[in-house]
Amino acid sequence: MIRFTQNIDDIKSCAACLSKDRQEHRPHILYLYSDGVNLYGTNGQQVAVAKGIGLEQGFYEVIKNIKTQIWLEKLDICAEYPDLDWLLVDFDYVMDFNCLSEGKRNISTCKLIRKTDIDFNVKFLDALPGDRSYSQGFIDDKMFAFDHPDFRYCFMPYSC
């Protein structure tokens, strides 16, 4: 088991993106995945990427997730993870998004919706680690992304 106690917001955000559906059997929806550099969490509609975590390649289960720490266990699963390298490409800059507080987040969200004219569930923004700024843009005209040097969060807008 691996215990993280520092700089855990990005890992916790990846874990928050995993499917809660216990009828689900696909490992890439149920567990975190490390490609040896980045850590991924997805439920099929949204993807969180913690950049530069550096865990051994493979699937990881969240064993314990409390305020000050998160515990992961490497699983012995023989399955392919979908190719998500395309999520880490550069995208056209749209605008900055500050994620400092609930009030400022709501103001920035309104500006984002007006500027891009996309329709999305604002609850998706809860997955963003706070107290930092993000640049935003589209990837391949399919996914909308928030980017920070340590973290990228992507989701599919309703209009796509």
Mean pLDDT of 115-142: 65
pLDDT at 81 exceeding the cut of 50: yes
Domain of residue 122 covers 89-155
Which of 87, 113, 143 is the last residue in one of the domains?
87
Q: Does 10 lie in the same domain as 73?
A: yes
Non-local (6+) Cβ contacts of 137 within 8 A are 91, 92, 93, 94, 144, 145, 147
Q: Does 64 lie in the same domain as 23?
A: yes
Q: What is the pLDDT of residue 111?
A: 59
pLDDT in tens, 33-76: 999 999 999 887 788 899 899 999 999 999 999 989 999 999 99
Q: Which residue has the higher pLDDT, 63 or 117?
A: 63
Mean pLDDT of 11-31: 86
Q: Does 14 lie in the same domain as 80?
A: yes
Q: What is the pTM of this model?
A: 0.75
Q: Does 122 lie in the same domain as 96?
A: yes
In the chain, % of residues over pLDDT 70: 62
Residue 160 lies in a domain: no
Q: Does 82 lie in the same domain as 9?
A: yes
What would the two tokens of residue 18 be?
Answer: 């995993």
Q: Does 83 lie in the same domain as 7?
A: yes
Q: Does 34 lie in the same domain as 93?
A: no
* CB-CB contact of 2 with 11 (8 Å): no
